[in-house]
Amino acid sequence: MGPVVEAPVLVDTSVWVEYLRKPSSTAGKALSALLSVNRVMTSGVIVAEILHGARTRKEREELADALGAIPIVELNFSDWVAIGSLLNDLRLKGHTFALVDIAIAHAARSAGCALFTLDSAHRKIPGITFFNP
């Protein structure tokens, strides 16, 4: 029997921010451990959010280079249709979510990833598996 391969983990912006600001935090250490065993995935929405928060052009370029080395969950037209449909279904049931949160949750679910997040809003989205350090 070979080694157990752990599922990939889509790391939400909230965790990246914690990792960049406080690498010794619980989330920071957990992300560092995931990075060391190549279990981290990202998505275009997450990359855009992280780059949006850069304080300088140099920081933005360094972040883009580092994030470019991480496998990305690509979203295509049918994914965006599913995201819009889920947003609509939830709204019709009286629940409001940000487009970004639903897109990240959908990316995790469609790629078979656990979602590592510090954002409690994601926990209210149905059908998501979470990574808990």
Domain boundaries of the chain, sorted by first residue: 9-119
| Statement: residue 112 has pLDDT above 70 | yes
Q: Model's pTM, two decimal places?
A: 0.91
CATH, domain 9-119, list 3.40.50.720, 3.20.20.140, 3.40.1000.10, 3.40.50.1010: 3.40.50.1010
Kindly report, residue by residue over 15-49, the tens digit of the pLDDT: 999 999 999 999 999 999 999 999 999 999 999 99
Kindly report, residue by residue over 53-104, the tens digit of the pLDDT: 999 999 999 999 999 999 999 999 999 999 999 999 999 999 999 999 999 9
Q: If we measure between CA atoms, which residue out of 103, 109, 100, 111 comes closest to residue 130?
A: 109
Contact 27, 18 (CB under 8 A): yes
Tokens representing residue 81 in the block = 């249709």
What distances in angstroms separate CA 78 from CA 95, 103, 105, 132, one per listed residue?
A: 23, 12, 15, 29
